[in-house]
Structure 1
Amino acid sequence: MVPQPLAAHRPRRPPARRAARPGPRRGFSDNANGNIIRHAGRTLVLGDGGPLPLELDRELNTAARVDFDGTLPAGFAAHPQHDPLTGELHAIATSHEPPHAVHVVVDVHGRVRRTVPIQLKRPTLMHAFSLTEHYALLYDLPVVLDPAAAPRAPYAWDDGHGARLGLLPREGGPDDILWVELAPCFVFHPVNAYETDRGLVVDVVRHPRVFDNDRLRPGETCPTLWRWTVHPASGTVVEEQLCDRVQEAPRIDDRYRGSAHRLAFTTALAPGTGELLGGPSLLRHDFAAGRTEAHHLPPGRTTGEPVFVPREPCAPEGDGWLLSFAHDRRTDRSELRIVDTADFTGGPVAV
């Protein structure tokens, strides 16, 4: 696997309309520390609360804020979703100002082609969302924004807010959203969602509560893997726990994003540490076989969210490599570990 220059596949496009650096802010925070993606030839750094994306140059320096050539009316989101069929980028952008959420669709040329305002009771933390063939799924859960406490501790658990999942048709309007009530919980990272004859299947990492006793450390309860089967006709949902191991940071083979998946990779966490972003091993879930396998790191090392790379474009689902950074607490150094999924429980093929 030979790393490619960041600009190797940059398409020709007109000069970007860039806000002055540091430029105007969007939302209550300018902290873009949530995600890095590539879209329309740009490397973008993203964050929660509606800040504009920050574009990185080839040396990974911050070049400018990006409003998609003047087509983005407000802020953006930490975890947009690429549609693997159309190449478009979908996002649920949240804000402390009404209507508090907007469905944004960015075309393959890097310009916003569609926005749909979504009226929420209060501004909530929607760190991510899910995308299926016909729906954008909204997680309106009981973690609400307190602008007075921003930016240090802006979010808090609110028992009175309730929990619900919104089904927004991809080309529908705000009045077309179907809201389905859920048991109170929080989801930072959905695994994937897809449609079947029986309804929508939504796999998530579910936290019982977050930002409740400690507003600075969200890992106060044990997140586990769950499946929600949503029946749009009746507006009901069946909730089922798939695995009781404590875990976070799910990834799938992104070629299957929005369609039925068999495999998912997660990071196993050490209960009681309050650690949300790293743990001592990686997990592979085979939902068809009902089996979970672990790739364990050497003692003293903690790994974070993995990235899956297919072995070749037409490789079977999950056949390729997992890349993840691991931190060695004893030396305070990090390493990039590459695991061949053909020998998932064995040692890495490169470090």
Structure 2
Amino acid sequence: MTQPYLTGHYTPHVDEITARDLLVEGRIPPELTGRLVRNSHNPKPGVTPAHWFKGSGMVHGLRLRDGRAQWYRNRWVRTPALEGAPYLTEHGPDLTASTAGTQVIEHGGRLLALCESNLPFELTAELETVGPYDFDGRLTTAMTAHPKSDPVTGELHFFGSSPLPPYLTYHVADAQGAITSSEEVPGASAALKHDFAVTERYVVFIEGSVTFDHTEASGIPYAWSDAQAARIAIMPRGRGGAARVRWFDIEPGSLLHAANAYEDREGRVVLEGPAVDREGFRRSWNWWTGRPGRGTEPNSRSLTHRWTVDLGTARVTESVVDDLVVEFPTINDAWLGREHRYQYAVSFPDDRGLGGYGVVKYDRATGARQVREVGDGRLPSEAVFVAAADARGEDHGYLLTVVSDLKQDASQLLVLDATDLTRDPLATVHLPRRVVAGIHGSWIPEE
């Protein structure tokens, strides 16, 4: 248990528990009625995966209602991989042999745990595993862990990627969860495609300088390649859009998570998100695999970038927006695909050990940045935005973040006022254990 992803904030749990009627300090806003569900890599006791991302998925849920924290529970996603089943078999890839440890979402009344190389796994509202879900047989590829739900149409946009042809397949499901279209995207390569974005008229894919490498021994067969062209693809939305996709070269780098994309007043496509250079990827990958030469954090040299694609001139302008090391960008999802003003993230110490963990808010109109530090030995989770019941503006709502506290060996859910991170938490929910630092999660309101 000496690997960095099995120690400190990332120490895995050895059991599943359920706790009820949790202690609450402050006041939970009444509109926070639903479940905060988070996913994490949590190998079973005695299992040491060769890569952080190979750890089996464990979901953590917290149910809020009527100002109370009714329950917390954690459950492994019971997939074949949890019992040691291999992904590659004599018959080819087993899309059900998933860690299911990256993200968890709700769509069309189904709660789905996701891992980008596999089918999703359906869970009950109490986080018990139902089984793999293939959209009634319509999904024959893997599914990205970062689907996008259009706030206007209710459609779910997602893709399946593969290191072998077809490299990229784009899917759309309607608001009820039925897949309405699937298209192979021409021109794609074996480059890693972890996240993507949608705007009102386009789908935006990102291929960075990380590509398939069969010699990588960690079980995640990808590596940085100077020969792999970094590119952005702009594809019109709607059936038949894949035939009109355009690819644009960008500077070498790797982006794991897109904050958002939109079309500006000049019709240009703007994409933002934290990205790393070659050295940053090397240090991060070495942390993820426990190799020498790693950084002290899982995200090294990860800085917010902005790409502006002029479709008329075919020119791409790229800039570094901020010098703060951040990851896990989020927004108010009502602005997904539209020009947003506010953006949130988690900050990490930089390569010199300067800075610390915190929740960050960016005002893209003024350039202002707020950082709410959470204290020594405390790591916040990805901040999930929930709108206030009487919201009058984009940032009128709450940020939900679960803090791992090493000194107290405990965790708390903080309910922060998204309009002003300098304010004390509106509510603090004391969880029954220190929750392992996870990856992504969702707020699922009760209808």
What TM-score do you get using the length of structure 2 for normalisation? Answer: 0.70
Partner of 1:53: 120
Q: Give the CA deviation at 1:265.
A: 0.7
Partner of 1:3: 33
Q: Give the CA deviation at 1:137.
A: 0.4
Deviations 1:177-212 (A, max 9, x none): 111110001111111111123211111212113543
Partner of 2:249: 181
Q: Give the CA deviation at 1:149.
A: 4.1
Tell me if structure 2 keeps the 8 A contact 1:155–1:211: no
What stretches of structure 2 of length at least 5 have no aligned partner?
Answer: 1-29, 37-62, 64-77, 82-86, 88-92, 289-297, 429-447
CA gap of 1:64–1:28, structure 2 versus 1, over 3 A, is closer
Q: Percent identity?
A: 32
2-side partners of 1:108 and 1:235: how far apart? 34
Tell me if structure 2 keeps the 8 A contact 1:131–1:193: yes
2-side partners of 1:280 and 1:273: how far apart? 14
The 5 A counterparts of 1:282-297 are: 282-297=359-374
1-side partners of 2:287 and 2:318: how far apart? 26
Q: Give the CA deviation at 1:224.
A: 1.1
The count of residues paired between Structure 1 and Structure 2 equals: 335
Partner of 2:382: 305
RMSD: 2.6
Q: Give the CA deviation at 1:66.
A: 0.3
2-side partners of 1:73 and 1:120: how far apart? 20
2:108 is the alignment partner of 1:40: yes
What stretches of structure 1 of length at least 5 have no aligned partner?
Answer: 9-19
CA gap of 1:178–1:28, structure 2 versus 1, over 3 A, is farther
2-side partners of 1:220 and 1:342: how far apart? 27
Partner of 1:12: none
Q: Which among 131, 148, 156 is matched to residue 198 of structure 2?
A: 131
2-side partners of 1:27 and 1:5: how far apart? 28
Q: Which among 280, 287, 297 is matched to residue 217 of structure 1?
A: 287
Partner of 1:281: 358
The 5 A counterparts of 1:65-104 are: 65-104=132-171
CA gap of 1:27–1:96, structure 2 versus 1, over 3 A, is farther
Tell me if structure 1 keeps the 8 A contact 2:403–2:414: yes
CA gap of 1:155–1:289, structure 2 versus 1, over 3 A, is same
CA gap of 1:336–1:5, structure 2 versus 1, over 3 A, is closer
Q: Give the CA deviation at 1:280.
A: 1.4
Q: Give the CA deviation at 1:148.
A: 5.6
Answer with 97-106 or 340-349: which moved more.
340-349
Partner of 2:272: 203
Answer with 212-221 or 293-302: which moved more.
212-221
1-side partners of 2:156 and 2:95: how far apart? 21
Tell me if structure 2 keeps the 8 A contact 1:193–1:200: yes
Answer with 341-350 or 55-64: which moved more.
341-350
The amino acid across from 1:226 in the alignment is H
Partner of 2:444: none
Partner of 1:262: 341
CA gap of 1:91–1:248, structure 2 versus 1, over 3 A, is same
SS at match of 1:305: coil
Q: Which among 197, 205, 222 is matched to residue 155 of structure 1?
A: 222
Tell me if structure 2 keeps the 8 A contact 1:280–1:301: yes
Tell me if structure 2 keeps the 8 A contact 1:22–1:64: no
Q: Which among 409, 418, 443 is matched to residue 332 of structure 1?
A: 409
2-side partners of 1:61 and 1:216: how far apart? 33
Partner of 2:438: none
CA gap of 1:265–1:348, structure 2 versus 1, over 3 A, is same
1-side partners of 2:104 and 2:207: how far apart? 24
Tell me if structure 2 keeps the 8 A contact 1:33–1:45: yes
Structure having greater relative contact order (Cα 8 Å, sep ≥ 6): 2
SS at match of 1:234: coil
CA gap of 1:157–1:176, structure 2 versus 1, over 3 A, is same
Q: Which among 288, 307, 311 is matched to residue 232 of structure 1?
A: 311
1-side partners of 2:188 and 2:196: how far apart? 18
2:323 is the alignment partner of 1:241: no
Answer with 166-175 or 291-300: which moved more.
166-175
What TM-score do you get using the length of structure 1 for normalisation? Answer: 0.88
1-side partners of 2:146 and 2:305: how far apart? 20
Partner of 1:164: 231
